Chain A
């Protein structure tokens, strides 16, 4: 099993550009999450989804959008990239929300210049 797969692994964006971070999981998990990780700050939840067609904001949603058209895929869209969005982004999935183990992708390192 591949688990949680994120693409790309690295990306450099110019200020004002847009991009989509892809995330797919093959474990048939209903719950999926996007986090950003900044040095010394831990992981902050951007958006999450409890099933196909259902998404909700996390702690730091500004500047991002998500969609969940299938159980497997949960892309994160950055519109009008800003230097403050320079970060490492992790996608994760779990079987029963916060009660069960979250499985993480390898991360996407994004730099906005």
Chain B
């Protein structure tokens, strides 16, 4: 069975600082990995995804993530935080089958201090 671990529930950074949100997964087959963002009172929207190929994936709003199979990780980073990045971030995993479903982590709330 697939699962996602996002350690910690809240990360706080200063504006302009590095953002690092951690995600570890478990999957019995090569996974598809996703990061979604949720702004207050809104639905989730896709930040980026890894399916196959290049292990460093670039997404919207300057975010990127690196798939590391040996560490079963897919950490999300952004070199310089902006106030507008304050939101909840979810890592998700699915397997490659035809009727595969997403399994979400518990989410991490990112706060950005002026």
A interface residues, Cβ below 8 angstroms from B: 4, 33, 35, 40-43, 45, 48, 50, 58, 90, 92, 96-99, 101-102, 104-107
Contacts and interface: CB of A to CB of B under 8 A. Distances in A.
A42 B105 contact: yes
A98 B34 CA distance: 10
Contact of A42 (B96, B97, B104): B104
A71 B32 CA distance: 25
20 contacts: A33-B101, A35-B104, A40-B9, A41-B106, A42-B90, A42-B106, A43-B90, A45-B101, A58-B101, A90-B44, A92-B43, A97-B94, A97-B99, A97-B100, A98-B32, A98-B94, A99-B96, A101-B34, A102-B102, A106-B41
A5 to B, nearest CB: 11
A4 B45 CA distance: 12
Contacts of A96: 98
A87 B100 CA distance: 25
Contacts of A48: 101
Contacts of B32: 98-99
Contacts, number: 60
Contacts of B94: 97-99
Which applies to chain B's interface (DSSP): helix, strand, loop or mixed?
Answer: loop
A107 B46 CA distance: 16
A41 B6 CA distance: 11
Contacts of A40: 9, 106-107
Given A40-B106, A41-B106, A42-B106, A98 B44 contact: no
Contact of A97 (B34, B51, B98): B98
A105 B100 contact: no
A48 B101 CA distance: 9
Contact of B43 (A41, A58, A99, A105): A105
B49 A101 contact: yes
B95 interface: yes
Contacts of B100: 97-99
B42 A106 contact: yes
B101 A98 contact: yes
Contacts of A4: 43
